[in-house]
Amino acid sequence: MALKETLHQLKEKYKGTKMAPAFNAIHTFLYLPNETTHGGTHIKAADDLKRTMNTVIMALVPCLIFGMFNAGYQHFAALGTPVDFLSWDAFYIGLIKVLPLVVVSYGVGLAIEFLFAVIKGHEVEEGYLVTGMLVPLIVPIDLPLWMLAVAVAFGVVIGKEVFGGTGMNILNPALTIRAFLFFAYPTWMSGDKVWVHGAVERAGTADAISGETLLGAYAQNTELGYSLYDMFMGFIPGSVGETSKLLIIAGGLFLIFTKVGSWRIMLSTVIGALAMGLIFNGVADAGWIGESSKFYGLMSVPFWQHLIIGSILFGAVYMATDPVTASQTNRGKWIYGFLIGFISIMIRVFNPAYPEGVFLAILLMNVFAPTIDHYVVQGNVKRRMKRLKAKVA
């Protein structure tokens, strides 16, 4: 307990000074503070913000570890010298490529959080803990670290701190960071090459390796190189942590079981995606769109397959459910989730140049979430007023 004592003394020493929030944050993060509420009536609950955040991180860790293995596995497969999935060779590539992403994401993000806490004189909030873990999972493996650092700084400042910090933000910070990267450095964020380690460097040389994405293959109506089983298990190229649908579903169930994530949003997002997929299937089957159309490839994908290609499930489980930016009312959550799924698939089909629209759809609905809540609440008020009138009369 020596560390705890030292921390406590440091905290006492800096109490009331400008740097106090920084030391308080380190202390609270590592240990239960000495000062807890005494006396009086209090509702005791263990699920404070720190616990909530840690739960989400626990749900993300399997995806991260899987992503590390997959990074190396895809790298060697693309080189033509496949290795076993669960091999040290595969994990090593993932380790040296993914770990720096995590370190930069946390380092830059937390530094900015601490800076703002000190300037504003409030306590450091736990909000960045989850964002910092999500960011490395949703970027391509070969993204230069300085780009990630710039994007994290932008996302935390413009996406969150200008609105007043954790709990006040309109947009999901992790997705703001991804959107910034996508619009600022499109060559590193989209296309066939970026998803496999080493593919960009080797492009155009004799060692060129292909890393064609599933969505690209679907859009161009070419033969798929992967089985449905591979897609479900996650043995496909993609952003670091979003390929394994199995682990995402497991993480989603964990979040639902611990009551941290909203099952309404997850379920309605999936329903929305399926609905849009069914509509497109109908259009393709009815022959309203010819086989030569550039939309035909993705429109004719069996509707349920949309769930295992791309990142719709990852978005539904970890991004759409962000309690700050999602709708707050239960009915609002259904509408919000449904529209996310619906719009995601629509963007995916109609934008073959950049076929993954999940993050854009979630950001769009983040903006609309307060409006949805407003009308749900007003609807409730109106219904009750009517009931009251009927009773009085």
Applying CB under 8 A, the residues found at the interface with another protein are: 144, 146-147, 150, 158, 162, 180, 183-188
| Amino acid identity at 192 | D
- Residue 122 or 386 having the CB closest to another protein: 122
The number of CA neighbours under 13 Å toward the Cβ of 74 is 34
* Whole-number Å distance between alpha carbons of 260 and 321: 9
Q: Are 109 and 156 in contact (CB under 8 A)?
A: yes
Least distance between another protein and beta carbon 182 (Å): 9
Within 13 Å of residue 186, how many CA atoms lie on the same side as its CB? 4
CB of 184 to another protein, least distance (A): 4
- Give the tokens for residue 59: 């749900």
Which residue in 237, 192, 216 sits closest to 298, CA to CA? Answer: 216
CA distance 366 to 389: 36
Report the distance separating Cα 357 and Cα 348, nearest Å.
5
Of 90 and 181, nearer to another protein (C-beta) is: 181
Residues 6+ apart with CB under 8 A from 60: 130, 133, 134, 137, 241, 251, 318
Identity of the residue, 96 or 162, whose beta carbon is nearer to another protein in the bound complex? 162
3-state secondary structure of 261: coil
Kindly write down the DSSP assignment for every residue of 322-359, as one continuous string.
-TTTS--SHHHHHHHHHHHHHHHHHHHHH-TTS---HH
- Give the shortest CB-200-to-another protein separation in angstroms: 12
At its nearest, how many Å lie between another protein and the CB of residue 176?
Answer: 11
Integer Cα distance of 296 and 292 in angstroms: 7
Distance of alpha carbon 384 from alpha carbon 311, whole angstroms: 41
Between 25 and 175, name the residue whose CB sits nearer to another protein. 175
Distance CA 66, CA 127 (A): 24
CB of 186 to another protein, least distance (A): 6
Least distance to another protein from the beta carbon of 162, Å? 7
Token pair belonging to 283? 């259009």
The distance of closest approach from Cβ of residue 280 to another protein in the complex, given in angstroms and rounded to an integer, is 29
CB of 185 or CB of 368, closer to another protein: 185
* CA 21/CA 115 separation, integer angstroms: 10
- Alpha carbons 116 and 95: distance in angstroms, whole number: 31
**Cβ at position 161, least distance to another protein in Å:** 10
Residue 238's contacts (CB-CB under 8 Å, 6 or more residues apart) are 195, 213, 214, 311
Contact 336/378 with Cβ under 8 angstroms?
A: no
Q: Which is nearer to another protein, 184 or 228 (CB)?
A: 184
How many Å apart are CA 27 and CA 15, to the nearest integer?
A: 13
By beta-carbon proximity to another protein, the closer residue of 146 and 229 is 146
Closest distance to another protein from the beta carbon of 148 (Å): 13
CB closer to another protein out of 164 and 225: 164
> Considering beta carbons, is residue 183 or 229 the nearer one to another protein?
183
Which of 76, 188 has the CB closer to another protein? 188
CB of 188 to another protein, least distance (A): 8
